[in-house]
Amino acid sequence: MHEFSIAQSLLEIIERETLPYSGAKVTTLTLRIGKLSGVMPDALRFAFEAISTGGMAEGASLLIDEVPLKIQCNHCRKVSIADNPFLICPNCQGTDVEMIAGRELEIREIEIEDGNQGS
Ligand SMILES: [Zn+2]
């Protein structure tokens, strides 16, 4: 269950980022997750929901932006989106390709709601 440890570190980042806003509540968390990061979005949602209970991120919606696997051919330099794990350039059929996107796992945005009402 490595989604649980990912959810745990996301929560730590959120806590650090929102430290200056005391009493704030996280409403939306937007993540970028690469297709090849090995993270299952549904499992991560479930894990995040479970560990955020009772904390400032409880009930926050998790928006997951899936990043497709992108490759660049070292032969013809063409960048393309690979939809299968066989890394072959669709332009020249070359196999000398480099993965340039698809392993991301990052927080893009944390939306918070100020806990101090009326200010
Ligand atoms: Zn090529």
pTM across the whole model: 0.81
CA of 89 to the centre of ligand 1 (A): 5
- Let me know if residue 95 belongs to a domain: no
CATH number at residue 32: 3.30.2320.50
Nearest to 69 by CA among 59, 55, 57, 83: 83
- Let me know if residue 74 belongs to a domain: no
**Rama region for 59: left / alpha / beta (φ>0; ψ in -120 to 50; rest):** left
Range of the domain at 34: 2-68+102-113
- Let me know if residue 79 belongs to a domain: no
**Residues in Cβ contact with 50 at an 8 Å cutoff, skipping those fewer than 6 apart:** 4, 7
pLDDT given at position 116:
62
pLDDT given at position 99:
92
CA of 68 to the centre of ligand 1 (A): 18
Q: How many domains does the chain have?
A: 1
CA of 83 to the centre of ligand 1 (A): 16
- Let me know if residue 21 belongs to a domain: yes
User: Is 10 in a helix, a strand, or coil?
Assistant: helix
- 119 residues of the chain, pLDDT tens digit each: 589 999 999 999 999 999 888 888 999 999 999 998 999 999 999 999 999 999 999 999 999 999 999 999 999 999 999 877 678 999 999 999 999 999 999 999 999 998 665 44
- Joined together, the tokens standing for residue 44 give 């991560």
